[in-house]
């Protein structure tokens, strides 16, 4: 359970760096996400999940 809390904290840090340090980039990325087709976003999300599971498995395995 503590690993999950640490992971959530790291996500918040990364997002905070993006929004706090590079707000124009964050706006541009949000605009790009709005124009992306749903299927492309779905595939990108599933690939991200697979990569994340693989990284955790390799590190914790």
The per-residue pLDDT for range 29-50, each reduced to its tens digit, is 999 999 999 999 999 999 999 9
Q: Quick check: 46 and 54 in contact, CB under 8 A?
A: no
Kindly provide the residue ranges of all beta strands, DSSP E only, lying in 1-61, ordered along the sequence: none
pLDDT over 90 (residue 16) = yes
Q: Quick check: 41 and 33 in contact, CB under 8 A?
A: yes
- How much is the pLDDT for 1? 83
Rounded CA separation 34/52 (Å): 24
SS3 61: coil
Query: 46-50, long-range: CB within 8 Å, 24+ apart, which pairs?
Result: none
């Amino acid at each position: 359970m503590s690993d999950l809390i640490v992971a959530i904290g790291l996500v918040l840090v990364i997002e905070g760096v993006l929004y706090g340090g590079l707000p124009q980039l964050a706006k541009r990325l949000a605009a790009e996400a709005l124009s992306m087709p749903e299927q492309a976003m779905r595939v990108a999300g599933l690939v991200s999940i697979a990569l994340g599971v693989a990284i955790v498995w390799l590190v914790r395995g």
